[in-house]
Structure 1
């Protein structure tokens, strides 16, 4: 199996990150078998396109939510990597988990805090 799992849709709340916000997150290597995709549809023409990232970010976007890494954008790049026998991919990872205190187990309270309008203004987690 290439990926850890395949979903249809995002299980996490909307993060509200813009392309500029994503560009401030440094890419890191992630193994393909650690990723859960958020779409089941693969478009063959996009998969075979050489310039699929011409107008977008060079790095796929992933969100870490409740300990699981979800691939939000970049499925075609991830599949291309797998077809080339490359088990890792450079990905920008937004760590939603870092915004939630580890002792918080209330999903209602978590959803309420995450829906606050000030969320996108929070500083992005720094990588060591």
Structure 2
């Protein structure tokens, strides 16, 4: 299994982070098998597009809530890493309290 669990939606409280706020969080390494996805579908074009991060963040966005890591943005990056047999993803992790 690639992910800890495939989720559907965001179970954690809204955080209202803007892209510039995410950019202030330093990236760190996260094991892909510890991530819970917030999307259960992927657009194949996003996975195959070499320039998929041209206008976006180079790092995935992960929300840590109640001890779990939720992959909010970057599903295509995580799958691409897994397809290259890497088990680590560089991500920006935001901790959300209750």
TM-score by length of 2: 0.97
Q: Choose between structure 1 and 2: higher strand proportion.
A: 2
Gaps of 5+ in 2: none
RMSD across aligned C-alpha pairs, in angstroms? Answer: 0.7
Measure the CA separation in 2 of the matches of 1:74 and 1:23. 14
Q: Kindly tell me the number of residue pairs found equivalent between the two proteins.
A: 98
Give 4+ residue runs of structure 1 displaced > 6 Å after superposition: none
TM-score by length of 1: 0.75
Please give the residue correspondences for 1:93-112 in structure 2 after superposition, counting only pairs within 5 Å: 93-97=93-97, 110=98
Measure the CA separation in 2 of the matches of 1:44 and 1:18. 26
Secondary structure of 1:71's match?
A: strand
Gaps of 5+ in 1: 98-109, 111-128
Larger radius of gyration: 1
Task: Name the residue aligned to 1:15.
Answer: 15
Task: Name the residue aligned to 1:75.
Answer: 75
Q: Choose between structure 1 and 2: higher helix proportion.
A: 1
Secondary structure of 1:55's match?
A: coil
